[in-house]
Structure 1
Amino acid sequence: MVRCFSVARVFVLAILTASLLVLPPILPPLPPPPMALLFFPVGIMALLMLLAFSPSDAAPNVVVYAV
């Protein structure tokens, strides 16, 4: 049987999960980020869409079988 997680990794994941459950009610709320930082995800999404729909210079990957 293959072990995906060691005991140390499970312990670290358990600590991270506990911190995600315990810390948000304890810590004070943060102020909203500046407006410029909110446009970074939008810019990344636009760049990914541009790359996805732009034509490629690579040779077409076409396979033709002669029968």
Structure 2
Amino acid sequence: MIFQQWISNLLEEARHHRDVARRHPEDKFESGIAFAYYDILTRSKNAAIRLDFDPKAVGLEIDLDREFLP
């Protein structure tokens, strides 16, 4: 499914920017990018839940707060 691939790509990029932001906490640009990905993923997960999709079925079974917030 295209949606699953899209989510997978978003998660991959989000994790990359999160890791860069953690290595360089003074780089507010990277922190902002990581938070933007977190925001998009959170909104996508909430939309999936509202539409009665199982978050696990679309690749969003993870705890986004725990994984992406400091």
TM over 0.5: no
Structure index of larger Rg: 1
- Higher-RCO chain (CA-CA 8 Å, sequence separation at least 6): 2
Higher helix fraction: Structure 1 or Structure 2?
A: 2
TM-score (ref. length: structure 1): 0.32
